[in-house]
Amino acid sequence: HPLRVLVIGAALRKGSTNIRLASLVARLINDTGATADLAPLYDFDMPLYNGDVEEAHGLPPGALALCERLRSSDAFVIASPEYNASVPGVLKNAIDWVSRIRPQPFKTKHALLVSASPSMAGGNRGLWVLRVPLEHLGTRVYPDMFSLAKAHEGFTESGDLADPGLQKRLTDTVRGFLSLVEADTRYGCLQRR
């Protein structure tokens, strides 16, 4: 079957530039013949992690749904803003809830990290911080990352990147990532879903 890739847009606001970037990455994935599953975090309602809530009610439906979508994917992409040079609380909270589920669904999956920000650094510092919990959970985080600077003026109306050089770099990054996932799931030690 074609590779299936979950593309998480790690923001709650509807006009999020990171969800726009996630939509573009999903389209670039579909263009290769693989199947993208777009997952903006506002679709996964969950409270702040609280051990008492977990003990009394188990996992919230939003965390279970996100876990299911991860499990039915061969790999995932996260498009995340940078908040104070770090990971937004809403994304860290979702990772924390989902990490409680067994078998733990982040383990051995490949992930590509991308970001968008109005700043010149494009949110890249936040992605370095995001590597820490993911690598702790056993995710194979792709070495290359993509950060879109000046994201508020970075997109065309059709949702492509306004700078053709950046559009090519993003396309090449996505394709490189998919080649690695394909090679590893077909010939490597990873089990396919």
Structure tokens at 3: 């590779």
Q: Does 23 participate in binding ligand FNR (rule CB under 6 A)? A: no
Residue 123 interacts with ligand FNR (CB under 6 A): yes or no:
yes
Torsion from C-alpha of 81, 158, 164, 154, nearest 10 degrees? -30
3 vs 146 by CB, closer to ligand FNR: 146
119 binds ligand FNR (CB under 6 A): yes
Residue choice 60, 65, 118, 184 for contact with ligand FNR (CB under 6 A): 118
Q: Which long-range contacts (CB under 8 A, 24 or more apart) does 169-175 make?
A: 170/24, 170/25, 170/28, 170/114, 170/146, 171/28, 173/112, 173/114, 173/144, 173/145, 173/146, 174/25, 174/28, 174/29, 174/32, 174/77, 174/112, 175/28, 175/32
Q: Single out the residue of 3, 17, 26, 181 in contact with ligand FNR (rule: CB under 6 A).
A: 17
Taking the complex as a whole, the smallest distance from the CB of residue 155 to ligand FNR amounts, in Å, to: 11
Phi first, then psi: give them for residue 146, nearest 5 degrees.
-130, 125
13 binds ligand FNR (CB under 6 A): yes
Q: How far apart are CA 33 and CA 5, in angstroms?
A: 11
Q: How far is the CB of 181 from ligand FNR (least distance, A)?
A: 25
Residue among 4, 18, 139, 180 that touches ligand FNR (CB under 6 A): 18
User: Smallest gap, in angstroms, from Cβ of residue 44 to ligand FNR?
Assistant: 16
Select from 15-23, 51-59, 63-71, 99-107 the region that touches ligand FNR (CB under 6 A).
15-23
DSSP 189: S
Rounded to a whole number of angstroms, the minimum distance from the CB of residue 119 to ligand FNR is 4
Q: Which of 182, 163, 180 is nearest to 24 (CA)?
A: 163
Q: Contact letters (x/-) for ligand FNR, 44-83, by CB under 6 A? A: -------------------------------------xxx
Question: What is the rounded distance in angstroms from the CA atom of residue 134 to the CA atom of residue 104?
Answer: 12
Residues that bind ligand FNR (CB under 6 A): 11, 13, 16-18, 81-85, 116-119, 121, 123
